[in-house]
Amino acid sequence: MGRTEIRIGGLGGQGVILSGMIVGKAASIFAGRHATLIQAFGPEARGSACSAQVTVADAPIGYPYVKNPDVLVVLSRDAYAQFAPSLKPDGMLLYEEEMVSLADHPLPPGVKAYGIPATRFAEELGRRLVLSMVMVGFVAGVTRLLTVDAFEKAVVDSVPRGTEDLNLRAFRKGYEFGTGCVPV
């Protein structure tokens, strides 16, 4: 498997940092791989730009910063505008299709783009707040980076007590959609 660099971008309150933490935890604690997480966010609690950089590797990671991600996950139009140009050619873009328009910025050559109506799925589950779990499931389903079991254990270990069932349902909704998704 080697090394996979992932950048997740969106707005504060969308669960961007939590998503990065879950991917890293799934890799390092529940899949026995190496992982790093770098996070960046604005001073506002909600609504400001934020991002998470996650590196997953089979060997120790000497440089944790993600310059040109293999996988870019975006939850907002601004995150797409900011990070899409840095995506590796032949990389993978996963995006919230009701918040991001691919027509806004060209993608590097060979990029495969996969969209999901994650916010709508979260609302159908009764809590818009689980948008990030839908996206983590989507990442798991499309990339097949780690086992679904490792991701599910990381979700349960990372969410507040009493919300595990809802968060797992959201994760599974995204995962199921991702396993059958074809690039746009």
- Judge if pTM exceeds 0.85: yes
Quote the percentage of the chain above a pLDDT of 90. 86
Assign 35 to helix, strand or coil: strand
Neighbour tally for 97: CB within 10 Å: 17
For 67-116, how does the pLDDT look when each residue is reduced to its tens digit (9 = 90+)? 999 999 999 999 999 999 999 999 999 999 999 999 888 888 899 999 99
- In this predicted structure, what is the pLDDT of residue 48? 78
- Cα 149 from Cα 161, distance rounded (Å): 19
For 116-152, how does the pLDDT look when each residue is reduced to its tens digit (9 = 90+)? 999 999 999 999 999 999 999 999 999 999 999 999 9
Strand partners, 38: 53
More confident residue, 161 or 12: 161
- Cα 88 from Cα 5, distance rounded (Å): 10
Sign of the torsion formed by the C-alpha atoms of 17, 164, 95 and 14 = negative
Neighbour tally for 2: CB within 10 Å: 8
Q: Single out the residue of 149, 152, 151, 141 nearest to residue 175, CA to CA.
A: 141
Backbone angles phi, psi at 170, to 5 degrees: -65, -45
- In this predicted structure, what is the pLDDT of residue 45? 56
pLDDT at 174 over 60: yes
- Cα 132 from Cα 18, distance rounded (Å): 8
pLDDT band at 1 (very low <50, low <70, confident <90, very high): low
- What the chain holds in terms of domains, given with CATH numbers, is 3-100+108-179 (3.40.920.10)
Chain mean pLDDT for the chain: 94
- In this predicted structure, what is the pLDDT of residue 21? 97
- In this predicted structure, what is the pLDDT of residue 44? 56
pLDDT band at 47 (very low <50, low <70, confident <90, very high): low
Q: Single out the residue of 61, 106, 103 nearest to residue 87, CA to CA.
A: 106
- In this predicted structure, what is the pLDDT of residue 43? 62
Judge whether 66 and 6 are in contact, CB under 8 Å: yes
